[in-house]
Amino acid sequence: MRILFIGFGNVAKETARILTEKELYPKLDLVPTVIGVFTQRHGGVENTNGLDLRSVLRSLKEKNTLVCEDEQLSSLTPLEAAQILDYDVLVELSALSISEHGEPASSYIHAALERGKSVVSANKGPVAFNYHKLKKLADEKGVKYLFESAVMDGAPVFNLVRRCMKGSTIKGFSGILNGTTNYILSYMENGGTFEEGVKQAQLAGIAEADPTMDTDGWDPAAKTAAFANVLMDADINPFDVERKGISQITPEMCKDALKRGKRLKLICRAQTIDGKIKASVKVEEVDKDDVMALISHFGAAIRIESDLMHPNTIIQDRPDLLDTAYGVIEDLISISDKSVC
């Protein structure tokens, strides 16, 4: 399997670490050849015979560059790399863009699929804005477009529905899909301020330097749209999701809810109402005996409702980069082993 990486941030580095330290994971049966790594920030590097991933990781860590002294950066842009280079699978791990409606990631993915190349992505943007277009193209070309790590850091939600809920219709879902806001709400319950909660989430590495994508509800809105599009065959994007973040929530509000036997949670929902799919992201009071009330710190959970089963709930306990990277790798394994796709 010849792989092209576009985007080489923390998730890609963790994925590469796992692939270069296979002795730590004895059941990992995957031997890829990475022929290119391309980023917006560091440029790109390519080698038709395969890159030394250990060298790439070492150069980034020690010198903040993709290449060693005797090598040169590629002249190709990431899009040109997707259009030109000889690879089997594009691993697309660039950053989410709400304002650009999932671009340029959607164009990278489209270019690969158009050439008959499978794609693995951890980017929720293309799923939230262009899922049906990209899925149709993948089907027409006879290849795969997989994205288990796009939502809930690799927890097998898409796989569960695709593989284990065949024949059922997903009627709706609800859950906690953003670890940063969940952490901040938990932090305020214990007397901390909103601003302190944001800083602690940043120190823990789960919130960006600009955390408003989380606190204003854009990240969970993108995740909600992605789940609705894939699980419920919706055709919505984050701008269609009723959205209200947590910036107006105070410690007093959190503590008052606790006194009444409830917790405040940022709940993502999608439901079929009168034949139409309605989606929302907003703070709700959750009873203490509800499973969602048990999700603290950076955790996540989703409750899936269908016509043929009682609700199924997946809980993720404090996921980190390892979880997200494994979701990418599991998708690669699924493409390698066509019997499980």
Residue 71 has pLDDT above 80, yes or no: no
Same domain as 285, residue 254: yes
Tell me the percentage of the chain whose pLDDT exceeds 90: 84
Q: What is the mean pLDDT of the chain?
A: 94
pLDDT in tens, 139-152: 999 999 999 999 99
Confidence at 260, pLDDT banded by 50, 70, 90: very high
Note down the domain range covering 22: 2-154+321-340
Confidence at 57, pLDDT banded by 50, 70, 90: very high
Same domain as 12, residue 72: yes
Report the pLDDT averaged over residues 179-198.
Answer: 95
Catalytic residue annotation: 223
Contacts of 206 (CB under 8 A, 6+ apart): 179, 180, 183, 298
Complete DSSP assignment for 185-245: HHHHHTT--HHHHHHHHHHTTSS-SSTHHHHTTHHHHHHHHHHHHHHS-----GGGSEE--
Same domain as 6, residue 147: yes
pLDDT of residue 206: 82
pLDDT of residue 319: 87
Q: Find out whether 44 and 60 touch, Cβ atoms under 8 Å.
A: no
Confidence at 4, pLDDT banded by 50, 70, 90: very high
pLDDT of residue 178: 95
Residue 209 has pLDDT above 90, yes or no: no
CATH number of the domain at 209, please. 3.30.360.10
pLDDT in tens, 303-328: 999 999 999 999 998 888 999 999 99
Structural domain contains residue 130: yes
Same domain as 311, residue 226: yes
Confidence at 210, pLDDT banded by 50, 70, 90: confident
pLDDT in tens, 5-28: 999 999 999 999 999 998 899 899
Confidence at 85, pLDDT banded by 50, 70, 90: very high
Residue 341 has pLDDT above 60, yes or no: no
Structural domain contains residue 285: yes
Structural domain contains residue 97: yes
User: What CA–CA distance (Å, rounded) separates 54 from 184?
Assistant: 36
Handedness of CA 243, 247, 251, 252 (dihedral sign): negative
Report the pLDDT averaged over residues 24-49.
Answer: 92
pLDDT in tens, 266-300: 999 999 998 899 999 999 999 999 999 999 888 99
Structural domain contains residue 105: yes
Tell me the percentage of the chain whose pLDDT exceeds 70: 98
The count of structural domains within the chain is 2
